[in-house]
Amino acid sequence: MDRPSFYLAAFLAVVVMAVVAEEMYSDMFDHIKPEDILPNDELRNQYYNCLMDTGPCVTEDQKFFREHAAEAFVTKCRKCTDIQKQNVEKIVVWYTENRPDEWTAMVQKLLEDAKKLNISPVV
């Protein structure tokens, strides 16, 4: 490989790694455990109301989740960390088993928000 081609290949590899690294959601709230929130009616409703735009987002993590929820949902969490994927699974299972009407409303809201943001679902 000649020198210019090598430099171009190296540059492209760095760009690809940077793009991949930038595409993940921040892990700053990965320490928050759904199993601490879901059984607590007051706390769970606070998160739910924030997500549904029916109440204020009180904490920074609620604001973060609200900001990324629609994209994460329709892209099947492709930018999520492994912990975020596990947490989303716990939330989905809990809501589908315990509050299916709220889950249906959340899904509808997330799809509407994704459409407004022009985010295409992953098939």
For 67-121, give the DSSP string: HHHHHHHHTTTTT--HHHHHHHHHHHHHHHHH-HHHHHHHHHHHHHHHHHTTPPP
> Above 70 in pLDDT, residue 112?
yes
pLDDT digits (tens, 9 = 90+) for 32-52: 999 999 999 999 999 999 999
Domains detected in the chain: 4-117 (1.10.2080.10)
How far is Cα 34 from Cα 4, in angstroms, rounded to an integer? 51
Q: Are 110 and 70 in contact (CB under 8 A)?
A: yes
- What is the pTM for the complete model shown? 0.78
**Nearest residue to 63 (alpha-carbon basis) of 94, 22, 23, 29:** 29
